[in-house]
Amino acid sequence: MTLFYEKYSAALYGVIFRIVKKEEVAEDVLQESLVKIWHSFQSYDASKGRLFTWVLNISRNLAIDKIRSRQYRVNSRTQPIEESAALRQAAEPSFRPEHIGLQEMTRQLNPEQKQIIDLLYFGGFTQSEVAEELNLPLGTVKTRARAAIKVLAKLIR
Amino acid sequence: MNIQEYIESGILEQYALGELDDAQRAQVERMATEHPEVQAELEDVQRALNAYGEAHALTPPPGMKERVLANWQAAIQSEPGQAPAAPATEPVVRQLTPPRSEPAAAEIAPSRVSWSMAAAVALLLLSAAANLVFYNKWKQAENDLAVAQNQQASLASTMQAVNKNLTYRNQELAVLRSEQFKTVALLGTPAAPDARARVLYNPTTKAVYLDVRKLPAPPSGKQYQLWALDQGKPVDAGTLAAATVAGDSLQQMKDIASAQAFAMTVENEGGSPTPTLSTMTVLGKM
């Protein structure tokens, strides 16, 4: 598990932290994730996807559960989007080499795409919730989300 | 709905983002197994989202690793029943993450290196110590050998001396036992009344031996000299060695053609051509 931690903790912690936005909560969630990964490892099916996908989804789901269960959800919904984006921005540490990839991705995504992908990926929003939040037709949200993911897919290819 | 429409419906993104319920997920998975295009598209979406998540990687604060792993271990030990008891898959879990051996495994490499370093150093020291011991033993053996060789040499020379001595004594014995030798007893003169000596004379071989019984030590720088008296004329028969004077052994003197009496005088060292009659110590007639 030490090796596992060394390999995945930064990626998992990064995602969890972006979702819950608090260090102590992120630590709790990371730990819960490890326990859950340990206990449900039998249900991991290699044919359904990469181990990292599976592990990342467990962490992400736990983190989203966390912000839904607490008042996070309410708060972030009542917050203007700009503010929550600013909050995310503040959470990012100063320049790190591992974020070169992030800068490149952010540059390639247009602001609308980034906003939607962030809400979906880190905000725990569903596509229809995003549509509601941004006062956009669901179709537009779906299109932008697909476009954003296409851009990312092209970047890593 | 054809495959392309299905892909473009956005359901794969929803699947990847975890928005779908169990039934919808099962349906997507079924589509993915049936249609390679769906499978490929789904993988692309997942990879893209993984990359996006990974790009946000953050190094956890220091100290978190220890806390999280300790709590994780406590959690999985306190609730072992929570893991579905599936004996067939259990070994897989163990294999991936054995809780205790994992930290040990991480340290095996450096500890193995330092162990072999320690072993190498220990072996080196051991070998050096052994070398020292063997070197000392070798030196000791060399010394012993030298001593033994010395002893052997001295023993050999002693043996030679003894042999020589024995030969000499045998000759003496032969002289003493021989019937060809005539014994002439020399008695002390008034100058040295206690002095006694014998001359063994072989008239056939002309050999003369002197056997001192008792003689006063000669003054320093002086020596006893034996004379044969032939027709009243003294003939030099040689000077006496110190060992002979002390009575250690017989001394063969110069051959004498004929004699009727023998006498000894004290002369300057090295002998003298004519006897100093005043110093005559012993005298004997045949």
DSSP of B177-209 = H-SSPEEEEEEE-TTSTT-EEEEEE-TTT--EE
pLDDT tier, B136 (very low <50, low <70, confident <90, very high otherwise): very high
Shortest Cα distance, chain A CAs vs residue B137, angstroms: 55
The pLDDT of residue B105 is above 60: no
Backbone phi, then psi, for B142, in 5-degree steps? -65, -45
* Chain A residues within an 8 Å CB radius of B7: none
Average pLDDT over residues B128-143: 92
Residues A2 and A74 reside in one and the same domain: yes
pLDDT of residue B84: 45
Long-range Cβ contacts of A63-72 (<8 Å, 24+ apart): A63/A15, A63/A16, A63/A19, A63/A20, A63/A26, A63/A29, A63/A124, A64/A19, A64/A124, A64/B18, A66/A19, A66/A20, A66/A25, A66/A28, A66/A29, A67/A19, A67/A20, A67/A124, A68/A124, A72/A20
Q: Residue A27 is nearest to which of B18, B64, B99, comparing CB atoms?
A: B64
For A:84-113, CB contacts with B below 8 A are 93, 96, 98-99, 101-102, 105
pLDDT of residue B156: 93
Shortest Cα distance, chain A CAs vs residue B113, angstroms: 20
Residues A63 and A2 reside in one and the same domain: yes
Shortest Cα distance, chain B CAs vs residue A113, angstroms: 13
Shortest Cα distance, chain B CAs vs residue A53, angstroms: 6
Contact: B64, A152; criterion CB under 8 Å: no
Residues A48 and A115 reside in one and the same domain: no
More confident residue, A145 or B101: A145
Residues A2 and A48 reside in one and the same domain: yes
pLDDT of residue A124: 83
- Domain final residue pick, A43, A78, A113: A78
Low-confidence winner among A41-50, A110-119, B114-123 (lowest mean pLDDT): A41-50
Residues A69 and A127 reside in one and the same domain: no
- Domain final residue pick, A53, A78, A103: A78
Q: In the predicted model, what is the mean pLDDT of chain A? A: 77
Residues A57 and A111 reside in one and the same domain: no
Q: Tell me the C-alpha distance between B110 and B282, whole Å.
A: 105
Average pLDDT over residues A130-152: 88
pLDDT of residue B86: 42
Contact: A27, B67; criterion CB under 8 Å: yes
Residue A67 exposed, middle or buried by CB count within 10 Å (0-12, 13-18, 19+): buried
pLDDT of residue B80: 54
pLDDT of residue B177: 86
Average pLDDT over residues B147-152: 92
B106 touches chain A (CB under 8 A): yes
More confident residue, B251 or B103: B251
The pLDDT of residue A78 is above 80: no
Tokens matching residue B65: 């690793």
pLDDT of residue B1: 66
pLDDT tier, A84 (very low <50, low <70, confident <90, very high otherwise): very low
The pLDDT of residue B102 is above 50: no
Residues A30 and A99 reside in one and the same domain: no
A46 touches chain B (CB under 8 A): no
3-state class (DSSP) for residue B282: strand
More confident residue, A19 or B79: A19
Q: Residue A57 is nearest to which of B18, B48, B54, comparing CB atoms?
A: B18
- Give per-residue pLDDT as tens, A111-132: 888 888 888 888 888 888 888 8
Looking up residue A27, the CATH number of its domain turns out to be 1.10.1740.10
The pLDDT of residue A23 is above 70: yes
pLDDT tier, A88 (very low <50, low <70, confident <90, very high otherwise): very low
pLDDT of residue A94: 42
pLDDT tier, A22 (very low <50, low <70, confident <90, very high otherwise): confident
Percentage of the residues of chain A whose pLDDT score is greater than 70: 79
A36 touches chain B (CB under 8 A): no
Residues A31 and A70 reside in one and the same domain: yes
- Domain final residue pick, A32, A59, A78: A78
Please identify, in words, the CATH class of the domain defined by B3-72. mainly alpha
Contact: B58, A17; criterion CB under 8 Å: yes
Nearest by Cα to A20 from A82, A75, A99, A101: A75
B40 touches chain A (CB under 8 A): no
pLDDT of residue B160: 93
The pLDDT of residue B259 is above 70: yes
Looking up residue A147, the CATH number of its domain turns out to be 1.10.10.10
pLDDT tier, A83 (very low <50, low <70, confident <90, very high otherwise): very low
**How many C-alpha atoms does A31 have within 13 Å on its Cβ side?**
19
Map tokens 């023993």 to a residue.
Answer: B155
The pLDDT of residue B247 is above 60: yes
pLDDT of residue B87: 41
* Chain A residues within an 8 Å CB radius of B93: 38, 41-42
**How many C-alpha atoms does B8 have within 13 Å on its Cβ side?**
8
A44 touches chain B (CB under 8 A): no
Shortest Cα distance, chain B CAs vs residue A21, angstroms: 12
* Chain B residues within an 8 Å CB radius of A25: none
A11 touches chain B (CB under 8 A): yes
Contact: B60, A10; criterion CB under 8 Å: yes
pLDDT of residue B97: 44
pLDDT of residue B66: 83
B86 touches chain A (CB under 8 A): yes
Contact: A1, B99; criterion CB under 8 Å: yes
pLDDT of residue B128: 92
pLDDT of residue B269: 87
**How many pairs of residues across A and B have Cβ atoms under 8 Å apart?**
152
pLDDT tier, B152 (very low <50, low <70, confident <90, very high otherwise): very high
Average pLDDT over residues B158-173: 90
Q: Tell me the C-alpha distance between B208 and B236, whole Å.
A: 12
- Give per-residue pLDDT as tens, A52-75: 888 888 899 888 888 887 655 555
The pLDDT of residue B94 is above 50: no
Tokens matching residue A52: 């990292």
Average pLDDT over residues B208-227: 89
Q: Tell me the C-alpha distance between B5 and B9, whole Å.
A: 6
Shortest Cα distance, chain B CAs vs residue A136, angstroms: 16
- Give per-residue pLDDT as tens, B170-207: 988 888 888 888 888 988 888 788 888 999 998 888 89
Shortest Cα distance, chain A CAs vs residue B106, angstroms: 7
In B, minimum Cα distance to A102 occurs at B55
Contact: B72, A31; criterion CB under 8 Å: yes
What's the structural domain count of chain A?
2
Domain assignment of residue A66, given as a range = 1-78
Q: In the predicted model, what is the mean pLDDT of chain B? A: 83
The full set of domain ranges for chain B reads: 3-72, 114-177, 182-285
Q: Residue B102 is nearest to which of A1, A121, A146, comparing CB atoms?
A: A1
CA distances from B224 to A9, B27, B220, B238 (A): 121, 146, 11, 9
Residues A3 and A56 reside in one and the same domain: yes
